[in-house]
Structure 1
């Protein structure tokens, strides 16, 4: 594993997060970005994250010296086992970049897009060399800490490529979720967008402030979801008979208008409420300070999950 090379194309927030993660897990990383100051920004970012990554747990061969930089895609992908694309969310740009990668990458390489908005079938349309190894691998910010990666294949993607991708991401300390097909927004983003939509309605209608909405998640649902997620949480809500009783007891109420099915119009008034609300919440703390607080919290929370030997896709022996 330590001799494998990862190419990261595009070094924004997500790209740099991937770079930090792969370096920490003992990979060689070649970063590619044509922006004049990209290399210095990347190296500064990764150096800043290195102490947190050490605390989280590094591979014995992890080193900042294993990062190299180029502005040429062909050079970047020449020996890469995985190419992670992170260019801006524009369909024409992503298709063009992925086609260039497909043209120059070794036949056995995996080509994965970090896109949160495009389906893999769309993205692989211009990949005419080996489209069967082109897919979506959507991470979550901060990529260097959060383990979930949603892997989705398109019409041309082969099952073998998906399995190879799963193995690579697992070796980078991730929890791959290989989707059965492709869907707009993948899985986690669809769920988060539903919550975000309802939060905007609540603030827009004056039922709560941004801070009060956040408290409702932090001190309620968020604590439960960190371990079990919505389905197992509702399974427990049914008592000894579990989900069957929960659906029998509360199912009819699901027809009630609990939810707004469309997002509210983002009027200047609503934008002002959200912007001013989050400014008040953050107070004197800068974004960098909030990020540091978030990262330290995530490190503690993930240690707890590891102690519990728990990942939702796995069964836990109740006798342990």
Structure 2
């Protein structure tokens, strides 16, 4: 029989951190408006700080971390305010391309100079935070879209962990993330799709089958984001992006999949004028 699903001594820290995070995130999403903006700016600054650390040389990380935090927060504030609205589809497209290609770039062991890495990843951080504000909007429908996206990513993570531990089997991309398996990927996507089917069946006017497909697609994209961040960390030789969240590692370690998923949902909304939930409407 396999080792238990719960391993390591940091489980209590993970649970306590999650218990503290959930009410804050839920309150910010529910309230929207300025509380959400302040929350997103804080998150963007935290991610920029960690990304600057990943991109910095060993000789001087602090200035680069501070620059990363300031630049990410400033760009996020401008994007949310609409200053960058004209170029937002371009920024979103750049983020999508980065997420899809980063794992391939780094698994091929192609050297990417760290200063270039600093600016290469910035669109992902900005788009992820901006997507929450734009998708949330000021109505209940926007809250549903963001909550659905977040839930899909969480279920992808849980399903991937549970099925990966229970079944094991061939590794997904061992050079990038040795612990991820094909069983975990399929289990996570299946859990997300099942959630979409159940949610769609419970909401009047929404097709469970269509929402299941959208949920599976978002789950796959979130996994691409997870792998991309893992590839970057392996490229620069670190295990975690930081230590902001006890038991979880860094902030980027916790939200990498969310950034990718939100970029996809925002891209769908920008290009088509409708969110995946609206596309699932009957």
TM-score (norm 2): 0.26
Q: Give the TM-score normalised by structure 1.
A: 0.24
Query: Radius of gyration: which is bigger?
Result: 1
Larger strand percent: 1
Structure with the larger RCO, 1 or 2 (CA within 8 Å, 6+ apart):
2
